[in-house]
Amino acid sequence: MEQTKPLRIALTKGRLENNTISLFEKMGFDCSAVREKGRKLILPVDGGKMEVVLAKANDVITYVEHGVCDVGVVGKDTIMEMNGRFFELVDLGFGKCRFALATKKGEPFYGGYGVKTIATKYPNVARTFFESKGMDVEIVKIEGSVELAPLLELSDGIVDIVETGTTLKENGLEVIEDIAPISARMIVNMVSMKLRQKEIEELVARVTANLE
């Protein structure tokens, strides 16, 4: 009989990857291959019963949506921005931060007549937020260090991730409104959820039982 393929889990490279591997070790999975990965991107876990794929956040969603990975670990920020078709099963509780609207300290944002300009790495999140307020804004997509945009007077405000608040503070910016809390989530491909239901439910139960 053909051996079952390992359950394939896409992890967002970096901090979420490290937190997930620590969680898997707490659950009793052997993650030595991931710990000694070098530059390898596909690695066996738990004696080959599972396979971990290391990818960028957006790509975790792409691989899970297309079903080439059964499960993914990705931040709620990326989920909100990409709006994919998959199940979001577990809030893993790590990678906590938030989406917020920030401006230069002391500068009034609401009010006035002109259309405000917002710089962000997350145009869909920003658009949805301002649409919910019925507010027309111009959105400019920035790739990183979004805090620069209001300092360079490209924008009136930013929609960005705030964790400790240090980046805002050190650049003379402040939060004027929280938009949404963020943390790492476990997502599952819709077909895998049917075809590998037992394995996935078992994994989810063990993950849930071992969360902080």
Interaction site with ligand PRP (CB under 6 A)? 144-147, 160-167
Nearer to ligand PRP, 124 or 145 (CB): 145
Question: In angstroms, what is the minimal distance from the CB of 161 to ligand PRP?
Answer: 4
> Which of 14, 48 has the CB closer to ligand PRP?
14
Q: What is the Cα–Cα distance from 174 to 61, expressed in whole angstroms?
A: 31
The sign one gets for the Cα dihedral 101, 103, 108, 111 is negative
Cβ atoms of 92 and 73 within 8 Å: the answer is: yes
Residue among 49, 54, 48 nearest 21 (CA): 54
Residue (27 or 148) nearer to ligand PRP, CB:
148
Between 75 and 84, CB nearer to ligand PRP: 75
CB of 14 to ligand PRP, least distance (A): 9
* 71 within 8 A of 187, measured Cβ to Cβ: yes
Give me the residue whose beta carbon is nearest to ligand PRP: 144
CB of 89 to ligand PRP, least distance (A): 25
Closest CA to 16 of 99, 97, 124: 97
Longest dimension (CA), the chain: 71
Closest by Cα among 80, 79, 53 to 67: 53
- Identify which of residues 2 and 170 has a Cβ nearer to ligand PRP in the complex: 170
Minimum CB separation of residue 171 from ligand PRP in Å reads: 9
What the block records as the tokens of 126 is 């920003």
Least separation, in Å, of the C-beta of 158 and ligand PRP?
Answer: 9
